[in-house]
Amino acid sequence: MKSPRSVGAGRPRVLVTGVRGKTGMPLARLLVAQEGVDVLGGSSNPTSVDIDGVRPTAFSWNDPSGWKAATEGVDAMYIVRPDRADAPDLIGALLDETPAGARIVLLSEQDADYMGTDGWAPRAEQAVRDSGHAWTILRPSWFMQVFTDPRFYRDQITDGLLPFSSGGASLAWIDARDIAAVAERALRNEEHAGRVYELTGPEALSLPHTAELLSAAAGRTVTVRELTIDEVVDGTTGFERELFALTFERVRAGSFAQVTDSVERVTGRPARSLRDFLADAGPPFRHGI
Ligand SMILES: NC(=O)c1ccc[n+]([C@@H]2O[C@H](COP(=O)([O-])OP(=O)(O)OC[C@H]3O[C@@H](n4cnc5c(N)ncnc54)[C@H](OP(=O)(O)O)[C@@H]3O)[C@@H](O)[C@H]2O)c1
């Protein structure tokens, strides 16, 4: 493995891909708060990046011709894995263009090798391991932000419904801000190189228990509607359908139920509970938390 340049030396430059997303935005804010860090906010729509102290940077998985410019001079890079079939190849190609000394933090997912090492998620991780860069892999459980994001469950929850396919399994929901806090440490400190962190919240909750907490926070009863996997994937096609089906198969198998203390071990403070997250979000669940 090539040795990384010290991110603490000079004015370290960090590229955060997916800067408008659930982990990218809080990560960028944490990095900006560190004096002297040059934070590049990667987005396929850079004109809409509006985060104090962050330099909007054109970065699209659809446009490899822009990767050289986006990664020029970076000391570290946070990669939000694109959920598409060619993600392993894209990540490998991006890292070929990235300065050799740059430290890489990849956002993967909990229990990524459930399907064995030939699966899509481990192959995306392998692209990072094989790149020659110093790397850290983050494997988080499901984000609590799916409850506050209008692209996921927010509107259904505020209407009193949580449609999901758990098969009775629990999930150790994690606050994306805790993932960001771990990413920030891993981008800046070489002690995290070569580490794979399975990241979870402090407890695994069944769907009925999750719905109880959502009900209390929403000020109305939220009812779980247990779906089959076929119902969940209905209306999706191609790779999205495959990934959705596999993800819910893994939910039902308990892939996201294992609780770890990695957030506390890396950041020095415990992971946020769902109760605290929801109290922070406040009804009717502000977006962006
Ligand atoms: N959500 C969960 O519970 C969960 C749990 C475990 C793992 N994960 C993994 O975490 C990753 C992020 O998922 P998420 O749902 O939370 O999404 P997200 O980070 O909230 O949003 C996706 C990001 O991708 C960016 N993006 C979209 N099209 C792009 C393109 N063509 N090129 C470059 N960037 C593009 C978007 O920003 P712009 O539009 O600004 O480009 C956005 O910031 C995925 O790999 C997912 O599998 C998610």
DSSP state of 213: H
182-241 pLDDT tens trace: 999 999 999 999 999 999 999 999 999 999 999 999 889 999 999 999 999 999 999 999
Domain assignment present for 137? yes
pLDDT recorded at residue 259: 98
pLDDT recorded at residue 11: 87
**Residue of 16, 17, 20, 152 to test ligand 1 pocket, by largest number of atoms within 8 Å of CB:** 20
Identify whether the C-beta of residue 198 lies closer than 8 Å to the C-beta of residue 258. Answer: yes
Strands, DSSP E only, in 200-240? Answer: 223-226
Ligand 1 atom closest to the CA of 81, numbered from 1: 45
Structure tokens at 40: 């590049």
Domain assignment present for 270? yes
Distances in Å between the Cα of 40 and the Cα atoms of 59, 76, 104, 108 are: 10, 10, 14, 21
pLDDT recorded at residue 19: 98
pLDDT recorded at residue 8: 43
Measured CA to CA, the distance from residue 201 to residue 192 in angstroms comes to 20
Range of the domain at 76: 13-204+253-281
Q: Helices marked H in 149-223 — which ranges?
A: 154-158, 176-188, 207-218
Rounded to the nearest angstrom, the distance between the alpha carbon of 11 and the centre of ligand 1 is: 28
Domain assignment present for 6? no
Domain assignment present for 7? no
Give the CATH number for residue 52: 3.40.50.720
**Residue of 80, 166, 242 to test ligand 1 pocket, by largest number of atoms within 8 Å of CB:** 80
Compute mean pLDDT per 10 residues along the chain, 289 residues long, and list them: 45 97 98 96 98 98 98 98 98 98 98 94 98 98 95 92 98 98 97 98 98 94 97 97 97 98 98 96 68
Domain assignment present for 57? yes
> N- to C-terminal Cα distance for the chain?
36
Domain assignment present for 213? no
**Residue of 44, 120, 210 to test ligand 1 pocket, by largest number of atoms within 8 Å of CB:** 44
Measured CA to CA, the distance from residue 272 to residue 178 in angstroms comes to 7
Domain assignment present for 229? no
Domain assignment present for 247? no
Measured CA to CA, the distance from residue 70 to residue 198 in angstroms comes to 29
Ligand 1 atom closest to the CA of 49, numbered from 1: 40
Ligand 1 atom closest to the CA of 19, numbered from 1: 43
Mean residue pLDDT of the chain comes to 94
Domain count, the chain: 1
Measured CA to CA, the distance from residue 106 to residue 79 in angstroms comes to 5
Ligand 1 atom closest to the CA of 87, numbered from 1: 45
